[in-house]
Amino acid sequence: MKLKIETTKRVELIDITSEVQNDVMKKGVSEGICIISTRHTTAGIIINENESGLKEDILNLLQKLVPTDAGYRHNRIDNNADAHLRAVLLGASEALPIIQGKLELGTWQSVFFAEMDGPRSRTVNLTVLGSIGKKEENQEESDRKHT
């Protein structure tokens, strides 16, 4: 499955948790893993808290660690070395467990697509692996256990 994302800024964090969760639920996998990955070299996938101040702090940290221009060699080609280097720090994928048909995320965890060289049209790939169990059957099973 693929998620299409239209980013609107050069650098931004976009919460994709509900889209990923919906696609996982559509797959009908009850127990398994979901790999969230991107093939782009100037974007990343991260998991953290969706709080506006923290999102600014994360972007400020990346700016501090990788300044916009520091004589990067790649800038001789297409002038976006900072975006590639920030993407290296973030990583291009995350894997999450699926438990009872849902992504196993902590209360404060969200999945973000991290745009480092937008605005662009982006794609996130979702690979879902696991065992398929119908909700009705699970319900019957838990009914049996309780009676």
Q: 15 or 78: whose CB is closer to Zn ion?
A: 78
- Least CB distance to Zn ion at residue 22 (A): 32
The footprint of Zn ion (CB under 5 A) covers: 78, 80
In angstroms, the Cα distances linking 11 to 7, 36, 66, 91 are 9, 20, 13, 15
Q: 29 or 81: whose CB is closer to Zn ion?
A: 81
User: 84: helix, coil or strand?
Assistant: helix
Q: 17 or 41: whose CB is closer to Zn ion?
A: 41
Alpha helices by DSSP H, the chain: 17-27, 52-65, 81-90, 135-146
